Amino acid sequence: MCGIAGFTGRDPQLLEAMLASIEHRGPDSWGAEVGEEFTVGMRRLSIVDIEGGEQPIRSERTGACIVFNGELYNNAELRGELVRAGHRFMSDHSDTETVLRAYEEWGASCVTHLIGMFAFAIVDPRSSEMYLARDRLGIKPLYYHATPGRLCFASELKALFQDPRIPRAPDMGVLYQFLLHRVHDAGEETFFQGVKRLLPGHFMTVAADGRTVVKKYWAPEVNPDFSSSRSDAEYAGAFGELFERVIRRHMIADVPVGVSLSGGLDSSGVASVMASLMGSGADTHTQGSLHTFSALYPGQSIDESKYVHSVERHVHSVPHYAYPTVDEFWDEIAEWVWYQEEPTISSAPYAYYSVYRIAKGQVKVILSGNGGDELLAGYVPYFRTYLSSATDQRHFLAAIREVVLGRDLYAKFARELLERHRPGGPRQFSMPDFLTAAPADLAEFDYHPSRNLNVRLADDVLRYSTPNLLRYEDKNSMAFSIESRVPFLDHELVEFIFQLPIDQKIKMGWNRYVYRQAMKGKMPEANRTRRSKIGFTNPETAWTHERAPLIKDVFSSATLSSRGIFDSGRLLQEFDAWLGGKPGDGLAFWRVLVTELWLRRYVDSPVTVR
């Protein structure tokens, strides 16, 4: 696990500055390969093959050179296959070298043989090309900026901006989608004009003159059917076996491994299966104990202590707690924005940031439950899509059954929908020029969810929801030099879930139905059957009220007024009304706040190494 960077051409000083800006991603060591056509380098966080996995790795046979960020979970199996094909390995079990040998064996299609999370670059002197690739779900990031004759790439945006030739102007179309529609990370565009992300499941070849070819290598099939003839028990059994196999391979490491525990259904299941596997010999390099890391808010309505402690008792863990406060958050909000690099949809990711902070020094790898909600319909709005799926495919009795059995969740959804769509919001205090000029830039990303639940879930996993969650996960964990792993987004598990019929996602008034069935007897029953959902978040409404004077200072600032995005007077008026109890989307004010703080840090100021 590390950070990588590089570009076409030769410039050792630029590479040094780029790597220095992402030292937090890899504090253990660094390496570089400086050539006339391509320059690449990396910062290493050593997780596997501590002694023999130094990078870059150069092939003695072909001269190809690799820098790699990620983990290869089928390393042992793939190595065996490559050895049988005649490849010789220099390292004991470096997964970086395995990827290099796979490229030598299969060329650009090597990515289809890899199971894991990754972003890597291979310089191939035989073709005078550089090969960049990103894992199927986009768990590991890869940004780039291309101009005629030149391409520059990196694991983080701040590394790109060490090159003074790369502009730091905001992309107003992306801002429009974010501020008015809560959509971001839904395509290759970033919040910066001209800076793109290599999309998940894609690879790119780069010629020495900067010319690029981008290709998609993974497009999972989605089953649109409502039900099938197989029994619930068969589906649950198959899911349980695969889930255990996925968790086992996500525990592979040569360093201490722990788990982030929110008390929610997904992280509770990950922790419970990890503990079971440890009982049968799996090693977390923590002297036989499972270390759990949680954010608690004693006395707050969002406090998950009850469910966190339930799992701790079940798995006999060594617990560690973060207690995020509004004072702490406001004191370090500028630092947090620095690590996030782009605006966030809410302040909720700060809870993960707090958890990874307390994990630093305890473990080097953490498994997370992220992704389960989007895969298995964990959010209340998905119930409405379930109903449209059922009626469209003429399963009327099933639709009636869910309305009756899930009436508590439907009532909650109706209240949330009413609140979200009350008059007001960013459109009320946005400048006319911003409203009329920006939409054309990214009109294609206006979100119109499918009426088919499985199609909608796939859209959210692949485009609208999971990509931004993975961005938060990566930024928060790497800020503290911790590798975060997300077993729910193992591509084999994702492909399996995409093939399940709709009624294995929601059934008998329960969401995540097949997962709940598979976890019977494997996790605390209180957690398995809970209907409420909170997860890692902050008491955002209370924190906003408590720091309203400081937020008003930002809203009334000359810098905010000068940008041509918001009408400061209307913004303050609407904010005061909301503080006074006017219904509306309170998170709209967070989006304005974080946008202004981000612009100050990344557009107004030099992106210098901290």
Please report the pLDDT score of residue 443 as a whole number. Answer: 46
Domain total in the chain:
3
Is residue 201 within 8 Å of residue 217, measured between CB atoms? yes
- What are φ and ψ of residue 367, in 5° steps? -90, 140
Question: Rounded distance, CA 234 to CA 236, Å?
Answer: 5
Query: What does the block give as tokens for 492?
Result: 């084999």
Other Cβ atoms less than 10 A from the Cβ of 195: the count is 23
> Are 165 and 268 contained in the same domain?
no
Question: Rounded distance, CA 62 to CA 49, Å?
Answer: 23
CATH number at residue 320: 3.40.50.620
Other Cβ atoms less than 10 A from the Cβ of 334: the count is 11
Q: Which domain holds residue 585?
A: 547-610
> CA 186, 190, 194 angle in degrees (round to 5)?
130
Helices (H) and strands (E) in the chain, counts: 26, 19
Question: Rounded distance, CA 273 to CA 441, Å?
Answer: 45
> Are 152 and 277 contained in the same domain?
no
In a domain, 133, yes or no: yes
Give the side-chain half-sphere CA count within 13 A for 358.
21
> Are 9 and 147 contained in the same domain?
yes
In a domain, 412, yes or no: no
Question: Rounded distance, CA 181 to CA 427, Å?
Answer: 10
Please report the pLDDT score of residue 49 as a whole number. Answer: 75
Question: Rounded distance, CA 69 to CA 142, Å?
Answer: 10
> Are 152 and 60 contained in the same domain?
yes
> Are 50 and 198 contained in the same domain?
yes
Query: What does the block give as tokens for 350?
Result: 């700060």
- What are φ and ψ of residue 123, in 5° steps? -95, 120
Query: What does the block give as tokens for 585?
Result: 């989307």
For residue 532, the 8-state DSSP code is -
In a domain, 396, yes or no: no
C-alpha torsion angle, residues 82, 88, 90, 96 (rounded to 10): -20
Query: What does the block give as tokens for 407?
Result: 């009436």
Predicted model pTM: 0.95
Query: Is the omega angle on the peptide bond into residue 606 within 30 degrees of 0, that is, cis?
Result: no
> Are 53 and 107 contained in the same domain?
yes
- What would the 3-class secondary structure string for 373-428 be? HHHHCCCCCHHHHHHHHHHHCCCHHHHHHHHHHCHHHHHHHHHHHHHHCCCCCHHH
> Are 22 and 117 contained in the same domain?
yes
Is residue 139 within 8 Å of residue 486, measured between CB atoms? yes
Query: What does the block give as tokens for 500?
Result: 């399940």
> Are 35 and 84 contained in the same domain?
yes
> Are 172 and 263 contained in the same domain?
no
In a domain, 596, yes or no: yes
C-alpha torsion angle, residues 326, 330, 332, 334 (rounded to 10): 150
Question: Rounded distance, CA 469 to CA 462, Å?
Answer: 11
Please report the pLDDT score of residue 422 as a whole number. Answer: 58
Question: Rounded distance, CA 601 to CA 583, Å?
Answer: 32
CATH number at residue 24: 3.60.20.10
Q: Which residues of the chain have pLDDT under 70?
A: 1, 413-424, 437-447, 535, 610
> Are 166 and 308 contained in the same domain?
no
Is residue 391 within 8 Å of residue 457, measured between CB atoms? no
At 505, is the secondary structure helix, strand, or coil? coil
Q: Which residues contact 79 (CB under 8 A, 6 or more apart)?
A: 89, 93, 98, 101
> Are 514 and 605 contained in the same domain?
no
C-alpha torsion angle, residues 159, 164, 167, 168 (rounded to 10): 50
